[in-house]
Structure 1
């Protein structure tokens, strides 16, 4: 199940240059490259002549993408403008062009109706390029369905078991005060752990010597954007009442882009608003979270293997799944609406 009328993160900005990059998004082949002025262009990664990926080709004359096989050239709008050895160009010699926006160090591609591609609907990830935050991120390819990753990020009880060496401890599962509510566009899960030991990563980042009051606010927007506000202060200093004393405040920023029904592109970053010029600190926090996310990757891929072996197998929901259940309901509704609109237009 894919939502097409949505922006998706296709790449980090540094991944795209003059050399074409091929990336499958919602099961469509896309090629991305920069023109001579540095602007990103996104086209269908499939030459209409003999179906060779255009990402195997090269950029010529500043902004034309030349097919590696027979030299057909396509402009930024996807139209073939040259076929070596002939003057007449068939009308069908064209590929799809996708709207593109470069923002927050990510390259966003609209996969649905181009007329509906409004850049104002791109979710806010300003922490990635704000001078007030230290941030570092990366990309992980996951051999699992994208909704498994969304479920994981909306249910953080797993931190106590999968990530006990870094960002988790028993309090996350046993002692959290949890609330789930619908927002105008998605779901918000709030979690508080009061007067509990800080997990290892928090001790390293904040130097805590005693118990802390810790929060996790998970903001989900469809299809798969999750922005987490996480942090801690020494217990009893007023964090639940909105005070911030001698603590650490961070953002965990996630954008999951479906590749196929069983594989995903996972773009994420960790940001902090304390000691923001300390690159060693930024790197340490990033590496700690990266260790945790690679542990998650093992879980996602193990889940997918089990699902592939028996897709009819049922599953049991527990209280911790409340956020994920709400998110899946929103996604199912949006998918049904999109399919109905498509059928009505046919």
Structure 2
């Protein structure tokens, strides 16, 4: 009998689906969270501090003063827009250069007093940070569709989950689990055979589901014809999941989920869920949509927590995949290639399968 590693912890010890892609944009906070005080955050287990300079632009530094290593996030922002350490008052600009040491008369030889800085960009209501300190960004953060579109109702949520970023991304883009984790709330009320087509897209991969009935609401139009639903799941490097639904009846939903690795086994993500809802229906629909999303997110967070707990008890992962796992293995492969600094793979990954959804 072949030992699959399911009963022997040492066989899986140390194996985790973790990739540290430093050369990429990660959301660290919403823009309205960053006001007139420093804000502490963590990415890849590294403490960083965000603040706004005198012009209001967001900046990010390593959260460690160059003098005696006190957290800069405990400091203040001075009138010049410099971040002043709360211990001895050293002041740093947005690029990490030390601009003043209070009480020091000789200001020479200041080059060794700098703090590593991270490229920072504010876009679509989020503050995005390049993962490599003092790195030169390539490209810009992904755009979040419809976040400022007046035709759409927008729901924003933030979650910290106990799992790898890979596990959180796979969960967000995984169809088979929905009939079980979300039974009755999302799926699980019937079965149907549909097709799934996987393909590459710029910066990531996409799976299109063909023949899927609408997730909610009427399934036929006023003439009795079936309402056709289109469904796409997408992953964009280094950590953005996106789910889109569109029906022939004019319904449209796009949920974009930026993920940030706080540590190897803790991930923060935001849900930006944009629903095309008539203005006169929004007061009625908002609490319904929010309740459904909150329920689904809480269920996912709990199953991910339980999954991580069991993996840690066995000392690592011991995964077995099937043809239904269209996203997870490819996401991990892309993350690990990017971690090694390899160029994006252009080899075809096109695949079409038939599956049963419940």
Q: Shorter-normalised TM-score: what interval?
A: 0.7 to 0.9
Question: Shift of the alpha carbon at 1:215?
Answer: 3.4
Equivalenced residues, count? 320
Correspondent of 1:155 among 174, 188, 191: 174
Question: Shift of the alpha carbon at 1:115?
Answer: 5.6
Q: Which has the higher contact order (CA 8 A, sep 6+)?
A: 2
SS of residue matched to 2:26: strand
Asked if residue 227 in structure 1 is aligned to residue 245 in structure 2, the reply is no
141-150 or 36-45: bigger deviation: 36-45
Summarize deviations over 1:256-283 as a string: whole Å, max 9, x none.
Answer: 0111101111111110123156244234
Summarize deviations over 1:28-75 as a string: whole Å, max 9, x none.
Answer: 221112234322121111112222111111111141111111211111
Question: Shift of the alpha carbon at 1:193?
Answer: 4.3
Alignment of 1:1-346 (within 5 A): 1-89=19-107, 90-112=110-132, 114=134, 116-118=136-138, 120-171=139-190, 175-194=193-212, 196=213, 199=215, 202-203=216-217, 212-232=227-247, 244-245=248-249, 247-276=250-279, 278-337=282-341
More helix, by proportion: 1
TM-score by length of 1: 0.84
Query: Which residue in 2 is equivalent to 1:236?
Result: none
Question: Shift of the alpha carbon at 1:106?
Answer: 0.9
27-36 or 68-77: bigger deviation: 27-36
| Contact 1:218/1:226, CA 8 A, preserved across alignment | yes
| Contact 1:32/1:41, CA 8 A, preserved across alignment | yes
Distance 1:297 1:112, change over 3 A: same
Instruction: Find the aligned partners of 2:342 and 2:83 in 1 and give their Cα distance.
Output: 32
SS of residue matched to 1:127: coil
270-279 or 102-111: bigger deviation: 270-279
Structure 2 alignment gaps of length 5 or more: 1-18, 344-358
SS of residue matched to 2:270: strand
Distance 1:165 1:56, change over 3 A: farther
Question: Shift of the alpha carbon at 1:290?
Answer: 2.2
32-41 or 65-74: bigger deviation: 32-41
Distance 1:307 1:217, change over 3 A: same
CA RMSD of aligned residues (A): 2.6
Distance 1:307 1:77, change over 3 A: same
Question: Shift of the alpha carbon at 1:17?
Answer: 0.6
| Contact 2:124/2:147, CA 8 A, preserved across alignment | yes
Distance 1:229 1:50, change over 3 A: same
Distance 1:276 1:164, change over 3 A: farther
Instruction: Find the aligned partners of 2:225 and 2:67 in 1 and give their Cα distance.
Output: 67
| Contact 1:270/1:286, CA 8 A, preserved across alignment | no
Question: Shift of the alpha carbon at 1:311?
Answer: 3.1
Question: Shift of the alpha carbon at 1:231?
Answer: 4.1
| Contact 1:128/1:136, CA 8 A, preserved across alignment | no
SS of residue matched to 2:167: helix
| Contact 1:8/1:109, CA 8 A, preserved across alignment | yes
| Contact 1:3/1:338, CA 8 A, preserved across alignment | no
